[in-house]
Structure 1
Amino acid sequence: MGKFKHFHVVFLAGFALTAFFSLPRPIRHARESLVQTMLEMTKHFRFAIMLHGAFALTVLVHSQDQLGFISIDCGIPDDSSYKDGITDINYTSDSTFTDTGVNGNISPEYRTNSLEQQFWTVHSFPEGTKNCYTLSPSSGKDRNYLIRAKFMYGNYDGEGKTPTFDLYLGVNRWDTVAVSDASSTIPKEIIHLSSSEDIYVCLVNTGFGTPFISVLELRPLPNDTYIPKSGSLELFDRANCGLVNQTYRYKDDVFDRIWSPFGASQWRNISTIQPVSSGNSYQLPSVVMSTAVTPFTTNDSIGLYWSPNNATSQYYFYMHFAEIENLQANQSREFNIFLNGDLWYKALSPRYLVATTIYSPTYRTKPDSETKFKIWINKTETSTLPPILNAIEIYTVNQLLQAQTDQKDDSKPQFVDHEIRNLSSSGLTGEIAPFISNLTMIQYLDLSNNSLKGTIPTFLSQLLLLQVLNLQNNSLSGSIPMELIERSNKGLLLLSVGGNPNLASDGGNTNPNSCVSSPCKKKKNVVVPVVTAVVGFAILSLCGIALLWHLKRRKKDVPAGEVIFVSNEQGRVLESKKQQFTYSEVLRITNNFASVIAKGGFGTVYHGYFDGLQVAVKMLSPSSVQGYKEFQAEVGNNYF
């Protein structure tokens, strides 16, 4: 991973100094640093917090022996393996994970002494459009996994032509791999809750060179960590603050997260030789939490900013803090955290040598007026010391489709080249291309978040296998073809057209909504999960006590090894009364249906937690003696 560029320090009379540093994407495109004066922040939000229990020691033991790890060095001889001399990770060949493609070695001039062994070889796929690796983790389905793929071209083919190709997770597009030069290493990392026993990582030839891969890794994670509202979390950056030239991963990190260093001469890098405890489920490495960055002077702030490549990007933030200086009786460190000018967390005072993780269960979508995302960490008026930051993780949401292959099929998924086309946020302009009419096998077509104009072509209604058509957030006009509306009304097509202000749904009335018919608004699933809040007096009292305690607290320490759960201004309990949840979300809410409350005429009722609230999850059984409409009626009466 690359280094941050240098900083500029400027003093302005009457203002506290604030310096920003650029937080780059994983491929480390350096951005210019930004110096701004600190603005007066007056907007305050209320927070609802949820303190999670300490993580069981058995998880630490479980992870340290690489149990559940899948580590593939792509391109080494078939059926071979070795232990990495630096990380002690056991790597194996890819011969048992894919039966297509060929092995290759990078050119000798790129095999430097500092290059990791896993980049010495590649596995390329000169034939076929889509080639897949089959990963069958021992932890099985309904589990959170960190999946990481790495690429280095190294002129393995002697052609000197860097390729561009797509990376898929099953039938869903994960990302594009664009190789800029032969010596660059490109990591792609995603945290994904798998709903199937097998996970397919696929490389797709898009016509711009032969796909290849250097390394493929899978790591199991606890299901109560890294929980998006929906979709999967794609790594934007993971920074170890206060360190200059050392990258940490396994064995220091039991989950093998890779922590890249950040340090600069214009900031004061502080550290401790004492171990830092991490009793929460994120199991932060002590060596990462034992360093931090802090401003040189008391009134300075810590600032981070970046310009998103996509204005619709959805971000999740995980900030990790620990006090690593033994403060004197007359010293205090307390600070507020702002996201894009909004108060995100108030009066945090990290505990000495104890890690605290602060995260938000909802994403922050809108950058400020300068089209940048900004994080400010400012000392409070009563604090005698400036703020600190030990580590930070930032993820973007990847809304993967939920289509799965038949679990009875013990071979690779039977992908057809044109089953899915995910072209969301691809910068498409003009009218919808006529060539799509040739994709007769297509089932999913996502053209959302582009700049398409013109009418919706009637040939889309002739794609008889099409199940999902997403045209949201374009500049389409005219009427929706009646054939598409009829298929949608019959439940044969999930049609989404919101965000097209000039589009009429039925020949005259402009339709601003995302859905044009009942199947989009009310999906007919075999199992219908409904989450209803348990609103007993005791729970409401506890929530009230927690809120009052948080609003009044100033210098109280955060309990050891805890995770602080930051909700939005109003709190989850005041959000929309009726919500839809994916199957993976229900698994997280119920901890894999671990606790049964009761069984009734409709089916089983499970206990769970949703954004810190206790909830009951009622599942309609296919064998229920009562009907779907009756089930919906009962659910409707349970909302408040």
Structure 2
Amino acid sequence: MESLKKLLLVALIATSAIHLVQAQNQDGFISVDCGLSPNEVSPYIEPFTGLQFTTDSNFIETGKLGRIQASLEPKYRKSQTTLRYFPDGIRNCYNLTVTQGTNYLIRARAIYGNYDGLNIYPKFDLYIGPNFWVTIDLGKYVNGTWEEIIYIPKSNMLDVCLVKTGPSTPLISSLVLRPLANATYITQSGWLKTYVRVYLSDSNDVIRYPDDVYDRIWGSYFEPEWKKISTTLGVNSSSGFLPPLKALMTAASPANASAPLAIPGVLDFPSDKLYLFLHFSEIQVLKANETREFEIFWNKKLVYNAYSPVYLQTKTIRNPSPVTCERGECILEMIKTERSTLPPLLNAVEVFTVVEFPQPETDASDVVAIKNIKAIYGLTRVTWQGDPCVPQQFLWNGLNCNSMETSTPPRITSLDLSSSGLTGSISVVIQNLTHLEKLDLSNNNLTGEVPDFLANMKFLVFINLSKNNLNGSIPKALRDRENKGLKLIVDKNVDNCSSGSCTQKKKFPLLIVALTVSLILVSTVVIDMTNNFQRALGEGGFGVVYHGYLNGSEQVAVKLLSQSSVQGYKEFKAEVELLLRVHHINLVSLVGYCDDRNHLALVYEYMSNGDLKHHLSGRNNGFVLSWSTRLQIAVDAALGLEYLHIGCRPSMVHRDVKSTNILLGEQFTAKMADFGLSRSFQIGDENHISTVVAGTPGYLDPEYYRTSRLAEKSDIYSFGIVLLEMITSQHAIDRTRVKHHITDWVVSLISRGDITRIIDPNLQGNYNSRSVWRALELAMSCANPTSEKRPNMSQVVIDLKECLATENSTRSEKDMSSHSSDLDRSMNFYTDMVPRAR
């Protein structure tokens, strides 16, 4: 079998001639050209296969770009001429977005090509997450090699890591993932590492995509004592394995009709366990008195009894449990039965070795949390790649984790970010490390107040916040925890009062006119503040919003309750109570309020650029928000909602997320506004029963509308509609369209492959097509009619930041292939409107 593998590699290298093919559906394919220069077009269509490849810059933060020697380039395809190499660090990891639970074929290709002029062939290891996959030894395969594994990710993120094991430098040329039918290639345990995949023919052709819809690579294999059988007719392949038609149109049979059909082999590692997948189809028209029936043996042990292939029908037979070879010597035999008049045949065969992955990945919620912390604070540590906790020798610097028992996913128990140059406030995302025992944020430039959420982290026993620029008071709940044994270290300038009498400092002075103040005084204050209501900023369900000044200089927005308002004192009180207890840079701040029951006013910080809907309407004197600005606005708004969902205690559902409730500051910093309909819910609750459904038509979660069951995923749906507005500049509901609702309109265009009509034409092509498509996929995922299929807001933030990073990294480039490559892809959605992962 080792000889079969070498033959396949030689055949692959020999087929370097370029020819054009028509690209088929590549739904779910991930094709990464490692080391592709930013100066080259990405994505691009590889002429030999028709596969669409993209740069790896969005999937990895480390490494350097290389290119094989120019004299060798004609031997290889475009995706094989570049490479990324890793002189720094021990473990360097690609991080890919995948679909959890999907069966993927993962292929890594490495070609040295003397890119560095040293003529030293590297040797290194590949890992999937925390588990060893395979050793790459390019001294053994000097023309390059590839390794495959069939693996089902346990989350929506997948790490493929290169690990340095000696003096040489790891490298990779390409990395591809292909989704397979989930009912195929199933094992009792472990994962399948490809050993050999061949079709039995004397042809020299290598079969792969587009002839193989899964882009498996098939070499040819034939022995002199065999006879070739072939047909020109199509073979029906109804099983999920879908062997390529070209592989099924030929077969091998013993030239001696009495002899068995035998394939011997010798394993590299004698203790390996094997799975065989044998693909059969009768392609010879049998006469009335002819019969083909045979038994299948592995190392003289019966695997399958009395099998007769069906004419032009495919069947895949595999061993139900893994098999081994004594001393590594193997033989596969097909022997005809006594009643058979014809010898056995075989069309194609795949052989896999079993790879056990004993180490569980770090708990998924901890991984999301620590990666959010990394993104929020812009941490660029070379060790912060791959799984945070395991294997233990690659533990992220500054972390400690609990027991590494192989049966339990590790949890992060200690986070030390002292002297890390942190700025901004203490991020609420830290609370998502729910098993954290020690937190050290000392010696940084953190500002703001000591947050309440630290008191709710029940496992914390040590917190060091010293040598920062924090202010305000220590929350009473945290002080109570300190009295029960929590060790808390803070600077002296933080108010260390021990009672509940401390009051937190606010960004703005709070103007409160008490209930006892007379109507005349209330009216005078509001009239003076708004300069006799001279300038109206807008109008909503609550009433008119006016421009005003506080203390004659500070600009504010004053919202007055209209007598005809459908909202009333209940909504007024809800908004005041919420804004008094929540503080986030992406939530509009409450400056003050006036309350005499009959005349109500809310005073907010002033947002000079109005609301998002105005800027998307096309009525802004020809000014068009750029795509990168739209993405930044989306990130800001998502961060505000994320805070409401996971940063508040109890958590909040906004319940009226829409483009008019996203306000823009001077630099187009976005903040969520209008919290009159917001409602609390407890973390851990699946939903909250609401007696009256509230929200805005077009943005309203259909599941919430149907069941009256409110949850944070209702905000996710509404945010998805806003994101679609930002992409398209279309209204959420437009009766002049054939498809009134924006989701139906988008799906109708996608289903026809009409992509360019979806994007706001005012952008005039000034965007990175990849970032637009990723944002569109995210928007449709958020707007899924079924709440459980929507992402949470933390996942939305991560995806939007990736879109923004992609856009910003290529702002100066012209995406020359955006229209053609996007049309080829055509964004095939599931019927329930959830995009498949690319």
TM-score (norm 2): 0.43
2:31 corresponding residue in structure 1: 71
Is the contact made by 1:166 and 1:177 (CA closer than 8 Å) also made in structure 2?
A: yes
Distance 1:403 1:182, change over 3 A: closer
Q: SS of the residue aligned with 2:152? A: strand
Find the aligned partners of 2:394 and 2:89 in 1 and give their Cα distance: 19
8 Å Cα contact 2:362/2:389 also seen in 1: no
Q: Which residue of 2 aligns with 1:158?
A: 117
Given residue 36 of structure 2, which amino acid in structure 1 is its aligned partner?
I
Give the Cα–Cα distance (whole angstroms) in 2 for the partners of residues 416 and 347 of structure 1: 49
Residues 152, 184 of structure 1: 8 Å contact kept: yes
Per-residue displacement from partner, 1:463-498 (whole Å, max 9, x unpaired)? Answer: 99662489xxxxxxxxxxxxxxxxxxxxxxxxxxxx
In 1, are the aligned partners of 2:194 and 2:352 still within 8 Å (CA)? yes
SS at match of 1:109: helix
Q: Is the 8 A contact 2:208 2:218 kept in 1?
A: yes
* Residue 152 of structure 2, aligned match among 174, 185, 193: 193
C-alpha contact (below 8 Å) 1:196/1:404 kept by paired residues: no
Structure 2 gaps, min length 5: 12-22, 375-382, 408-838
Letter paired with 2:47? G
Are 1:132 and 2:93 counterparts? yes
Check the 8 A contact 2:4/2:221 in 1, yes or no. Answer: no
User: Would you say the 8 A contact 2:48–2:77 is kept in 1?
Assistant: no
| Alpha-carbon distance in 2 for matches of 1:464, 1:121 | 38
Among 403, 426, 446, the residue aligned to 2:361: 403
How far does residue 402 in structure 1 lie from its aligned partner after superposition? 2.3
1:26–1:187 Cα contact (<8 Å) kept = no
CA-to-aligned-CA distance 1:32-55 (integer Å, 9 cap, x gap): xxxxxxxxxxxxxxxxxxxxxxxx
Q: Say which SS state the counterpart of residue 208 (structure 1) adopts.
A: coil
The one of 301, 306, 315 equivalent to 1:342 is 301
Query: CA deviation digits over 1:1-36, x for unaligned, max 9?
Result: xxx9xxxxxxxxxxxxxxxx9544798699xxxxxx
Task: Name the aligned partner's letter for residue 351 of structure 2.
Answer: I
Deviates more, 1:207-216 or 1:145-154: 207-216
* Change over 3 Å in CA distance of 1:273–1:371 after alignment to 2: same
RMSD, aligned CA:
2.9
Structure 2 equivalent of residue 90 of structure 1: 52
1:382 is aligned to 339
Residues 1:202 and 1:214: Cα distance change in structure 2 (over 3 Å): same
Report deviation, 1:308.
Answer: 2.2
Post-superposition shift, 1:236?
Answer: 0.8
Match status 1:115 vs 2:115? no
Cα contact 1:154–1:182 (8 A) shared by 2: no
Letter of the 2:300 counterpart: G
Q: Please tell me whether the aligned partners of residues 440 and 464 of structure 1 are also in contact (alpha carbons under 8 angstroms).
A: no
Q: Is the 8 A contact 2:109 2:175 kept in 1?
A: yes
Distance 1:311 1:86 in 2: 37
- How many pairs were matched up? 379
Change (3 A) 1:162 1:419: farther
Displacement of 1:270 after TM fit?
Answer: 1.8
**Structure number with larger C-alpha Rg:** 2
SS at structure 2 position matched to 1:300: coil
Give the conservation status (yes or no) of the 8 Å contact 1:322–1:354: yes
Alpha-carbon distance in 1 for matches of 2:185, 2:228: 28
Q: How does 1:568-579 map to 2 (within 5 A)?
A: none
Are 1:174 and 2:133 counterparts? Answer: yes
With over 3 angstroms needed to count, the CA separation of the structure-2 counterparts of 1:219 and 1:287, relative to structure 1, is same
Partner of 1:328: 287
Describe the shift of the 1:310–1:377 C-alpha distance in structure 2 as closer, same or farther (beyond 3 A). same
Cα separation, 2, equivalents of 1:244 and 1:274: 18
The 3 A distance-change label for structure 1 pair 292 and 193 is same
Structure 1 distance, partners of 2:303, 2:246, is 27
Q: Distance in 1 between matches of 2:396 and 2:177?
A: 30
Structure 1's 92 and 210: CA in aligned 2 closer, same or farther, altered over 3 A? same
Distance 1:362 1:169, change over 3 A: same
* 1:148 is the counterpart of 2:107: yes
Instruction: Tell me whether 1:184 sits opposite 2:146 in the alignment.
Output: no
Provide the C-alpha distance between the structure 1 equivalents of 2:110 and 2:394, rounded to a whole number of angstroms. Answer: 33
Q: How does 1:164-243 map to 2 (within 5 A)?
A: 164-180=123-139, 183-243=142-202
Distance 1:126 1:371, change over 3 A: closer
Cα distance change, pair 279–246 in 1 and its aligned pair in 2 (3 A): same
| Shift of residue 414, structure 1, vs aligned partner | 4.2
CA distance in 2, matches of 1:95, 1:165: 22
**Could you say what secondary structure the match of 1:110 adopts?**
helix
- Helix, strand or coil at the partner of 1:80: coil
Which one-letter code corresponds to 1:66 in the other structure?
Q
| Residue identity matched to 1:395 | F
Are the equivalent residues in 1 in contact too, given 2:93–2:385 (CA < 8 A)? Answer: no
Match of 1:105 among 42, 62, 67: 67
Asked if structure 2 preserves the Cα contact closer than 8 Å seen for 1:240 and 1:288, the reply is: yes
Q: Is the 8 A contact 2:34 2:175 kept in 1?
A: yes
**2: distance between equivalents of 1:173 and 1:231?**
12
Identity of aligned residues (%): 37
Which structure shows the higher helix fraction?
2
Cα displacement (A) at 1:404: 3.5
Separation (CA, whole Å) in 1 of partners of 2:165 and 2:261: 42
Give the Cα separation in 1 of the matches to 2:271 and 2:158: 27
Distance 1:364 1:274, change over 3 A: same
1:118 deviates by: 1.7
Displacement of 1:358 after TM fit? Answer: 0.5
Written as runs of structure 1 = structure 2, the 5 A alignment for 1:406-421 is 406-407=364-365, 408-409=368-369, 410=371, 414=384, 420=390
Structure 1 residues 469 and 221, CA gap change in structure 2 (3 angstroms): closer
Specify the alignment match of 1:17 in structure 2. none
Q: Structure 2 vs 1, CA of residues 134 and 417 (structure 1 numbering), >3 Å: closer, same or farther?
A: closer
State the partner residue of 1:563.
none
Cα distance in 2 for residues equivalent to 1:195 and 1:252: 30
Aligned to 1:628: none
What does 1:27-38 align with in structure 2 at a 5 Å threshold?
A: none
Superposed CA offset, 1:395-454 (max 9, x none): 1111113223534244689458996569xxxxxxxxxxxxxxxx69699xxxxxxxxxxx
Task: Provide the rounded CA distance (Å) in 1 between the counterparts of 2:360 and 2:298.
Answer: 31
Q: Deviations over 1:186-210 (max 9, x none)?
A: 1110000111101111111112311
SS in 1 for 2:166: strand
Give the AA of the match of 1:69. Answer: F
What are the residue-to-residue correspondences of 1:558-569 with 2, within 5 Å?
A: none
Name the SS for the 2:198 alignment partner: strand
8 A Cα contact 1:26 1:235, kept in partner: no
| Aligned 8 A contact 1:125 1:211 in 2 | yes
- TM-score, normalising length from structure 1? 0.55
CA contact (8 A) 2:92 2:386 kept: no
How far did residue 330 of structure 1 move?
2.0
Rounded Cα–Cα distance in structure 2 between residues aligned with 1:386 and 1:29 = 31
Task: Select the residue among 393, 410, 434 that pairs with 2:350.
Answer: 393
How far apart are the structure 2 equivalents of 1:263 and 1:153? 30
Name the CA shift for 1:198/1:391 in 2 (closer, same or farther; >3 Å): same
User: Post-superposition shift, 1:117?
Assistant: 2.1
Q: Distance in 2 between matches of 1:94 and 1:440?
A: 23
SS of aligned partner of 2:149? strand
Cα distance in 1 between the residues matched to 2:394 and 2:188: 34
Contact 1:315 1:395 in 2 (8 A): yes
C-alpha distance in structure 2 between counterparts of 1:217 and 1:416, whole Å:
18
Query: Is contact 2:295-2:336 (8 Å) kept?
Result: yes
CA distance in structure 1 between the aligned counterparts of 2:255 and 2:25, rounded to whole angstroms: 41
Question: Residues 442 and 67 (structure 1 numbering): CA distance in 2 closer, same or farther, change over 3 Å?
Answer: closer
The 3 A distance-change label for structure 1 pair 414 and 108 is: closer
**Contact 2:264–2:330 (Cα < 8 Å) also in 1:** yes
